[in-house]
């Protein structure tokens, strides 16, 4: 289409291509990173307490972090670990995943969701997702079960912070389906703190739920994760396996008035414990989680309002109440009729000082999974459609209205 301008009182038609040539050369007027960590609470104070205590590894701060997190998500047990990947590995191992088994996992996820299955000698069975949410749906799961009746475990990913449909009033949710078919559920909630489904906190449902505290998450501990469960057997097994298969808590061993060195190794475990240094940061962040979430939500509402005016852009579909979404990511998808490609849009925004990311290149397109399991992109039509156009926009608590206006104005400028 052409643009119309008034030149000395005469209406002049300006080819849009010429206009775009000028736009691409536009200088940066603002820097808006994809993510900026907010650490303006008690982080430094709590870190100083840990450093002065003389005990830097797993101890009081880690135990306090576990206790407070379990209370917040309404779970009986919470185990702090070194990453969400560690939590997923421990959850699958404690659930009984063994070599030769198959585990359902969505293709639109970070590789950690599937790689932990391979750690145990089992095989990920990749599933397509719903367009607009990048989530597994009950319908997708039902079809997968019909085609693969022997699969007994599912890793469900709560993408971008939106919970998958785990529970429904008519008992046709993912959790309901898995109960009927004897399928164990491990929830990858790396994006989904704090989030709710059907009035229940993600982290409180049956099975095991795994959270991430990586630097760009709703709360961070720098590096770290948490496994929550209501199953004592899963909690006991994961607790031992996160520290070399030792049957006693390291803090309790060294603080006990009994014989201090005595312990047993019940299995060849892993080194997945969280340090008090990381827990101190996590605790300070946890104290402000509601405020941090509210600031992200303000950004989300601004994006929905401004970007709805772009006809070539699909905004995130939200199936849950917006207040139940964690809003870790704000992922938009370019339609095929967009004036520029996804990669060109990323380049143009980058030239203007705007950071972006892509979540995700689907696993069926990754060399290892594609070649190991002989995967064809045509098996995943929705993921392919998402992958061609998805782009994650800046989203962090300290974004100002000026930052948001700058991002949206540039998107409007490029895409309309």
Active site positions, annotated: 217
Q: How many helices (H) and strands (E) does the chain have?
A: 15, 14
Alpha carbons 174 and 152: distance in angstroms, whole number: 13
Sign of CA dihedral 71, 76, 79, 85: negative
| Closest C-alpha to 43, from 282, 225, 218 | 282
User: Contacts from 336-339 at CB under 8 Å and sequence distance 24+?
Assistant: 336/388, 336/389, 337/312, 338/312, 338/313, 338/389, 338/415, 339/20, 339/312, 339/414, 339/415
DSSP letter string over 110-146?
Answer: -THHHHHHHHTT-EEEEE---TTT----HHHHHHHHH
Q: Give the rounded distance of the alpha carbon of 36 from its chain centre.
A: 16
Question: Rounded CA gap, 151 and 100, in Å?
Answer: 11
Q: Which helix (H) or strand (E) holds 14?
A: strand 10-15
Q: How far apart are CA 76 and CA 219, in angstroms?
A: 21
Contacts of 261 (CB under 8 A, 6+ apart): 253
Report the SS3 class of residue 168.
coil
């Amino acid at each position: 289409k052409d643009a119309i301008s008034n030149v000395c009182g005469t209406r002049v038609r300006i080819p849009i291509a010429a206009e775009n040539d000028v736009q691409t050369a536009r200088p940066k007027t603002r820097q808006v990173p994809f993510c900026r960590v907010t650490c303006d609470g008690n982080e430094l104070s709590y870190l100083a307490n840990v450093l002065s205590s003389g005990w830097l590894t797993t101890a009081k701060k880690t135990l306090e972090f576990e206790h407070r997190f379990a209370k917040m998500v309404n779970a009986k047990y919470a185990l702090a670990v070194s990453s969400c990947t560690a939590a997923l590995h421990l959850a699958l191992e404690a659930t009984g995943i063994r070599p030769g088994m198959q585990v359902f996992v969505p293709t639109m996820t970070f590789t950690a969701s599937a790689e932990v299955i391979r750690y145990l000698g089992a095989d990920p069975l990749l599933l397509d997702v719903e367009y607009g949410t990048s989530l597994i749906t009950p319908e997708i799961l039902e079809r997968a079960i019909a085609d693969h009746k022997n699969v007994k475990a599912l890793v469900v990913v709560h993408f971008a912070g939106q919970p998958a449909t785990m529970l429904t009033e008519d008992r046709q949710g993912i959790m309901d389906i898995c109960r009927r078919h004897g399928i164990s559920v491990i929830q990858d909630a790396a994006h989904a703190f704090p989030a709710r489904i059907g009035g229940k906190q993600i982290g409180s449902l049956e099975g095991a739920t795994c959270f991430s505290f990586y630097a760009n998450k709703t709360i961070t501990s720098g590096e770290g994760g948490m496994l929550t469960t209501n199953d004592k057997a899963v909690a006991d097994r994961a607790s031992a396996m996160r520290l070399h298969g030792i049957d006693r808590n390291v803090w309790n061993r060294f603080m006990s008035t009994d014989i201090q060195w005595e312990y047993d190794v019940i299995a060849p475990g892993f080194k997945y414990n969280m340090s008090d240094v990381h827990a101190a940061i996590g605790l300070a962040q946890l104290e402000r989680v509601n405020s941090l979430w509210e600031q992200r939500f303000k950004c989300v509402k601004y994006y929905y309002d401004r970007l709805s005016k772009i006809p070539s852009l699909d905004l995130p579909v939200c199936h849950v109440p917006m207040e139940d979404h964690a809003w870790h990511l704000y992922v938009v998808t370019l339609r095929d009729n967009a004036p520029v490609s996804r990669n060109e849009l990323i380049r143009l925004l980058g030239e203007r000082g705007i950071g972006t990311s892509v979540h995700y290149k689907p696993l069926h397109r990754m060399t290892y999974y594609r070649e190991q399991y002989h995967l064809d992109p045509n098996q995943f039509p929705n993921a392919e459609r998402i992958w061609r156009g998805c782009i994650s926009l800046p989203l962090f608590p300290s974004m100002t209205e000026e930052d948001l206006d700058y991002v949206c104005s540039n998107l409007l400028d490029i895409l309309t």
